[in-house]
Structure 1
Amino acid sequence: MARKVLNLMLLFLLFGCASSKKAKFEDYVFQTKKEKQSYLNSYDKALKLWDIPYAEENIKTSFGTAHVIVAGTKNGKDLVLLHGMDASSTMWYPNIKVLAKNHRIYAIDFLIEPGKSSLTAKSLSKEDIVAWYNEIFAHYKLKKFNIIGASRGGWITTLLAVQKENSIDKIVLLSPAQTFKFIDKVGKTSSALMLKLFPSEKRFGKTLKTFSTHPEKISPVYKRQFYLANKYAKSNSSMLKMMPFSNEELKSIKNPVLVLIGDKDVINSEESLEKVKEFLPNSKTKIIKDAGHFLSIDQTKIVNDAMVDFLE
């Protein structure tokens, strides 16, 4: 129990600290127009790393505007991509060419993070999050689609999958955060806490080394966007709602599920995979060698091959 409380305190500090700045314009994520524009410019540059044809679409929803990047073959199997926290849909640049070859891609920016989706409500419950994504799925008439979620995107993917009524087919989870258990390597994630509280290039570099075994592989263009997301974006308490799923909830997921984690991951461990094997009846697991939490960048080819083999 003490460890659980400690984790909750860390999560509150890391993701729930209120900004000391006074907002100068109405925006849920950013403090000023200048900061927002600087971030969006970096987003546009990073999105070009996809290096494939794509279309950016803005969908009106009950909770705000959903920004969706659509790419891939029109006749391919529908594939939804849910990014990690503060990473935005541009994070898929090392994986997108392989995934888009035989899929119709829908990469969605999460509503309460840096990205191009914009929130009009002041907060979102878990039920609201499910409703928001379902509005997007309904807009594109997605049925029996595959889905890949990374880190927080993995938690959201699991949240969608435990709903009694969903249209998901196959699921890939890339080191899903707070999904199977609480973060147990609290000390090792302190660099991320310090980055949130006191953003700087030096702390950002230290954080990348904590979460990635090969930070040198990260594109400088994407790295700039990711840094600005941490520097400018308001902190929010949404991580406090990310409780690990119960055994009963996990058992309810009958979909084929692939769970990948890095052997140097600070979020998940073999204990996570043991829970997957016990409570997800139709699952496969794999530990990616020489990879951290950012395993899709650390070991791109191995992760891409595993995802494609599973999905196809």
Structure 2
Amino acid sequence: MIGAFKNARSEERYLAAYDRIAALWPVPVQDLDVTTRYGPTRVRASGDEGPPIVLLSGAMGTSLSWYPHVADLAAHHRVYAVDTIGEPGRSHQTRATGTGDDCADWLADVLDALGHEKFLLAGVSRGAWLALTLAARSPDRIAGVVAVEPPGFAPIGWSFIRWSVREIATWFDPRPRAAVRRTFRPLLFGGLKYRAHHPAQYLFSDDQLRAITVPVRLVLGERSVIHTAREVEQRVQALNPLFDVEIVPRATHALPLQRPELVTARILAG
């Protein structure tokens, strides 16, 4: 199956909201539509010099979710923020991604199209899972990975579903501290009318984690509902000395919203 909006009207409204938010991008940007075997993929490129970073959002996040971070990142790096194939956004899926290998192939195609020898991959949630999936399978083009709250270390259960419902409710919060949520609210709710079709996020095996040969910085929430952070830390450090783990006190799976400045700093640190 291929991801698509339920109808043309839903797509029009979503893309109109997308374009309004895109106008908030705080630094000069070039929109690229790069060719992959799974369809044209939208990439927002900013920054002129410095080692390249590829930014991968969480589910339904789009490249635009990186706008609070991009000014600081682009001051030091060439930055590429990606609309993940099979998710709502300005990428256009033409072929199904039925397995984790398909997802890795798609991301490898994106890196090939961008043309640099090596990239730092930085991802949040599903984007972090994608980055680790490619690093375990084909690390040749990767200089390192910053993975913020990646799934793939424990089964996703009802605790995550309950947490997600409560988290979505916070997007209605009108208070000033919820400014980022207010900005992205139209994309969140418009994206609910998109039928996403992509493979389940499998659990990483010990062999996959051992196969990663580049430095990995894991940033985990102490109160995450997708894994137990201390268990993840103990496991990866026993398997692979290239993993560095930071557990952020009191943070949940919404860590990028709770501590955006920390996420930016960890990406800059590589």
**How does the TM-score come out when normalised to structure 1?**
0.78
Structure 2 residue runs without a partner (length 5+): none
CA contact (8 A) 1:42 1:221 kept: no
Is the counterpart of residue 304 in structure 1 residue 230 in structure 2? Answer: no
Contact 2:171 2:178 in 1 (8 A): no
Which residue does 1:204 correspond to in 2? 168
Change (3 A) 1:261 1:49: farther
Matched residue, 1:146:
120
**Alpha-carbon deviations, 1:221-258, whole Å to 9, x = none?**
2122122112x11143x342x11111111011121111
Q: Distance in 1 between matches of 2:221 and 2:86?
A: 27
* Distance of aligned partners of 1:208 and 1:239 in 2 relative to their CA distance in 1, 3 Å threshold: farther
Aligned to 2:63: 89
Taking the aligned partners of 1:153 and 1:233, their CA distance within structure 2 comes to: 18
Change (3 A) 1:203 1:128: closer
Partner of 1:264 in structure 2?
223
User: Counterpart amino acid of 1:30?
Assistant: F
Conserved? CA contact 2:88–2:196, under 8 Å: no
In structure 2, how many angstroms separate the alpha carbons of the residues matched to 1:203 and 1:257?
28
Alignment check: 8 A CA contact 1:261 1:268 kept: no
- Tell me if 1:187 matches 2:148: no
Change beyond 3 A, Cα 1:94–1:280 = farther
Q: CA deviation at 1:138?
A: 1.4
Distance in 2, matches of 1:181 and 1:70, equals 34
CA contact (8 A) 2:38 2:93 kept: yes
- Of 234, 248, 253, the match for 2:195: 234
Gaps of 5+ in 1: 1-17, 19-26, 196-201
Residue 295 (structure 1) aligned with residue 267 (structure 2): no
Q: What is the SS of the residue equivalent to 1:42?
A: helix
User: Shift of the alpha carbon at 1:39?
Assistant: 0.7
Q: Deviations over 1:22-79 (max 9, x none)?
A: xxxxx7320111100111111122223331111111122222111111111x221010
- CA–CA separation in structure 2 for the residues paired with 1:269 and 1:208: 29
The answer (yes or no) to whether the contact 1:262–1:289 under 8 Å persists in 2 is yes
Query: Given the superposition, is the C-alpha separation of residues 129 and 206 from structure 1 closer, same or farther in structure 2, using an over 3 Å criterion?
Result: same
Q: What are the within-5 Å matches in structure 2 for residues 100-249 of structure 1?
A: 100-164=74-138, 166-177=140-151, 179-183=152-156, 186-190=158-162, 192=164, 204-205=168-169, 216-230=178-192, 232-236=193-197, 238-240=198-200, 242-249=201-208
Aligned counterparts of 1:120 and 1:266: Cα–Cα separation in 2: 33
Q: Give yes or no for contact 2:171–2:185 (8 Å, CA) kept in 1.
A: no
Query: Kindly tell me: are residues 276 and 50 of structure 1, through their superposed partners in 2, closer, same or farther at Cα, counting changes over 3 Å?
Result: farther
Q: Is the 8 A contact 1:59 1:136 kept in 2?
A: yes
1:77 and 2:51 are equivalent in the alignment = yes
TM-score, normalised to structure 2, is 0.89
Paired residue secondary structure (2:23): helix
- 1: distance between equivalents of 2:249 and 2:167? 26
CA distance in 2, matches of 1:207, 1:191: 13
- Distance in 2 (CA, whole Å) between partners of 1:287 and 1:191 is 19
Aligned pair in 2 of structure 1 residues 208, 247: CA closer, same or farther (>3 Å)? Answer: farther
Contact 1:89–1:108 (CA<8 Å) still a contact in 2? yes
Contact 1:191–1:206 under 8 Å retained in 2: no
Distance 1:101 1:116 in 2: 25
The offset of 1:108, in angstroms, is 1.3
Q: CA deviation at 1:115?
A: 0.8
2:30 alignment counterpart: 55
Offset of residue 220 of structure 1: 1.0
Secondary structure at the counterpart of residue 5 of structure 2: coil
Q: Deviations over 1:123-161 (max 9, x none)?
A: 433232222222221122121211101101111101100
Answer whether contact 2:221 2:253 (CA < 8 A) is retained: yes
1:187 to 1:86, Cα distance in 2 relative to 1, 3 A = same
- 3-state DSSP class of the match of 2:123? strand
| 1:160 and 1:166 in contact (8 A); partners too | no
Cα distance in 1 for residues equivalent to 2:115 and 2:196: 33
Q: Which amino acid aligns with 2:183?
A: V
